[in-house]
Amino acid sequence: MKVIIVDDETAIHEQLIKMIPWDELGWEIVGHAYNGEEARQLTELLRPNLILTDIRMPLMDGLGFMEWLKSSGQQAKVIVLSGYGDFEYSRTAFKLDAYDYLLKPVQEAELLTVLGKAVEQIQQDSKKQSDRINEKAVLNQGLTLMQDEFFTQAAGSSHLEENELYVRAEQLMIDLPQGGYSVVAVKFIAAEENVQERYKGDRSVFYFAARNIMQETLGGIPVFRYLHKTAEFVFLYSHSSKHAGVFPQLLSRLHHSLEICLRTHARIGVSSTKQRISKLSAAYTEAVQALESLHFGNEEDIAYYGKQANAKITDNGSASGNWKEIGLLLDMLLGTGAIRDGEVLLAKLEEAFCEQSVSVMSGAEWKKASSELLDKLESHMNDEDSIMLMNEARAGIRELRTGQVKESLRRLIESRLQSAAGETKTKNGKQLIEVVKKYIDIHYKSISLEEVSARFYLNKNYFCSLFKSVSGESFVEYVTALRMEHAKRLLMTSELKAYEVAEMVGYSDQRYFSQVFRKATGMKPTEYRQSQS
């Protein structure tokens, strides 16, 4: 609690310092002012929580200072200490939001009481303000997520009626274009590496930064995250907007801002112009196709649907030959169970994925070639390790992660080569679930089925079935039991309130936590604590 004292008499400052045990009470006198003007400067600099001030002072008196304070938006409480008992002074002081008005000479007990009440009020006000800020932040996050879900659904379905789209958009405070528009897809290449290096693995912070940069550059145009992909944002550009006629320049500025601020490679695809919002799904598909038409080695990173990107003029015949030869060698391995020289197959894979070979391919060509190899392998891979690698490779293909896909394919081919030689060494289901459980035990507060499935590259339905068969309980039951054990320990060993315990074990809703706890133990959290004392 920061306090400043304002009085033109040095003796008053010294008296107040000695009168109150400031340090013991956790209050700190951070400044002394000897007139209203000095008080104004100190307040702007130190932003105190509490101000003790006299009325009559040179340059600017106490009432003038309080008038400035009221208009400044500062939240400090003011206690007036004055030698004047005139009603007009006190009335004016209270009109200027004085918390209390004490006459000099001030009595220690009286001042201490008023200070205590003022501090209590400040703490209450601070909590209310914090609650309002948190509530607003939660509401904003919830609204943003609902807007992203709306767009993801609308972009992925061609069966939504136009009126329904407009009604739902209005409910979510989204202003959809009424006339001609294009869908613009922005894809971040190698975003995961950037998240790990710059954002300590916190993907949500990266998303927040990317969305803010985009909206600021676009002048407030709503930006959505396409939830079915890891690092893709989309917006609708109205050709009747204030930016009409400078669309290419706007996209160039956006691309420059993203790469400079986020330090990660971004690519942009633009659909053809659509006149009706019912064509949103088709427009999104076009934007993605435009984005994937860009060659990896392109110097340009913005593509328009239906327009040929200015690719580097490079012969991709050798690259195409590598992919075909890999396919033939793989067919031989999978068809006969053996291959003359497995090292040749792996060497050809390295050649196909080297930077020089990949650079002459468009994103769409690379996705098709990689998917064909994966399709060949999929029907011959049924063990847990292979399923994880398959899912990892599929995710990498969707996200254009060439390095991740190469590594997954290499490991899958090596596994098949070992199997052909009778040297297969794979984890069984029990071992896999034990690894998953160790991860859950660490991240139980915020864990979700989607996160675990993504983390271990497992199909959700397969994972649930495998977890149940190995553990004898469902994933949800296991996580809930784990949270309840931690909750019981906290209730027994700490003085945390029930809502604090709920937050610490992963429940934002105290009522729901109490219901779950009661179902698990037969008692409310408070009853459980009492029973253990």
Q: What is the mean pLDDT of residues 418-425?
A: 52
The model's pTM is 0.50
User: CB within 8 A of 292, min separation 6: which ones?
Assistant: 269, 362, 363, 364, 367, 400
pLDDT in the model for residue 263: 84
Give the Cα separation of 289 and 306 in Å (integer).
Answer: 9
What are the pLDDT digits (tens) for 101-132? 888 888 888 888 888 888 888 777 767 665 56
Q: What is the mean pLDDT of residues 353-369?
A: 88
What burial letters (b/e) apply to 122-142, b meaning 16+ CB within 10 Å? beeeeeeeeeeeeeeeeeeee
**198, 216 in Cβ contact below 8 A?**
no
pLDDT at site 341: 59
What are residue 232's phi and psi, to 5 degrees? -130, 130
* pLDDT given for residue 358 in this prediction: 86
Q: Where are the domains positioned within the chain? A: 2-106, 151-304, 317-420, 429-532
- pLDDT category, 314, cuts 50, 70, 90? very low
Strands 302-304 and 232-238: unpaired
pLDDT of residue 427: 41
CATH architecture designation of domain 151-304: 2-Layer Sandwich (3.30)
Q: For residues 385-414, give the mean pLDDT.
A: 88
Q: Which residues pair with 362 in a beta bridge?
A: 295
pLDDT band at 513 (very low <50, low <70, confident <90, very high): very high
- Taking every pair of Cα atoms in the chain, the longest distance, rounded to a whole number of angstroms, is 107
Q: Choose between 337 and 531: higher pLDDT.
A: 531
Q: What is the predicted pLDDT for the residue at 300? A: 80
Tell me the CA distances in angstroms from 416 to 326, 382, 412, 457, one per residue in order: 14, 11, 6, 19
Mean pLDDT score across all residues of the chain? 83
Q: What are phi and psi of 71, to 5 degrees?
A: -85, -15
Is residue 426 pLDDT above 80, yes or no?
no
The pLDDT assigned to 20 comes to 87
pLDDT at res. 407? 92
Q: Strand, coil or helix: what is 446?
A: coil
456 vs 467, residue with greater confidence: 467
Question: Which residues make Cβ contacts (< 8 Å) with residue 297, sequence separation at least 6?
Answer: 311, 312, 314, 358, 359, 360
The answer on pLDDT for 479 being more than 80 is: yes
Give the position of tokens 């600021």.
216
Average the pLDDT over 384-390 and give the result: 86
What was the pLDDT predicted at 73?
A: 79
Which tokens hold the place of 460?
Answer: 């959700």
Round to whole Å and give the CA distance between 322 and 305. 29
pLDDT at 512: 92
Provide the angle, in degrees to the nearest 10, between the axes of the packed helices 317-336 and 342-353: 150
Least confident interval from 211-220, 328-337, 366-375: 328-337
Does the pLDDT value for residue 226 go beyond 70? yes
Per-residue pLDDT, 423? 35
Confidence band, pLDDT 50/70/90 cuts, at residue 337: low
> Which residues, including other chains, have CB under 8 Å from residue 165's CB and lie 6 or more apart?
154, 176, 277, 278, 280
Which tens digits make up the pLDDT trace of 163-196?
A: 888 988 888 888 888 889 999 999 998 777 778 8
**Given this chain, do its domains 151-304 and 429-532 carry the same CATH topology?**
no
Provide the pLDDT confidence category of residue 312 given band limits of 50, 70 and 90: very low
Region 39-62 average pLDDT: 89
Residue 350 bridge partners (DSSP):
none
What pLDDT is stored for residue 85 in this prediction? 64
Helix%, strand%, coil% for the chain, nearest 5 = 60, 10, 30
- The C-alpha angle with vertex 175 and arms to 172 and 180, in degrees rounded to 5, equals 140
- Residue 210 near residue 233, CB atoms below 8 Å: yes
DSSP state of 271: P
User: Could you tell me where the beta strands, DSSP code E, fall in 8-148?
Assistant: 28-33, 50-53, 77-82, 100-103
pLDDT of residue 268: 94
pLDDT per residue over 428-455, tens digit each?
A: 567 668 767 877 888 888 889 888 877 6
Task: Read off the pLDDT of each residue in 264-293 and give the average, rounded to a whole number.
Answer: 92
CA–CA distances in Å: residue 496 to residues 124, 492, 520? 20, 10, 20
- Report pLDDT for 272: 94
DSSP string, 48-73: -SEEEE-S--SSS-HHHHHHHHHHHT
Interval 516-521 mean pLDDT: 92
Say which CATH superfamily domain 2-106 falls into. Answer: Response regulator (3.40.50.2300)
Domain 429-532's class? mainly alpha
CA distance 266 to 252: 11
- Say if residue 313's pLDDT is above 50: no
Reply yes or no on whether the pLDDT at 333 is more than 80: no
Please report the pLDDT score of residue 156 as a whole number: 83
Q: Which of 311, 259, 282, 267 is nearest to 400 (CA)?
A: 267
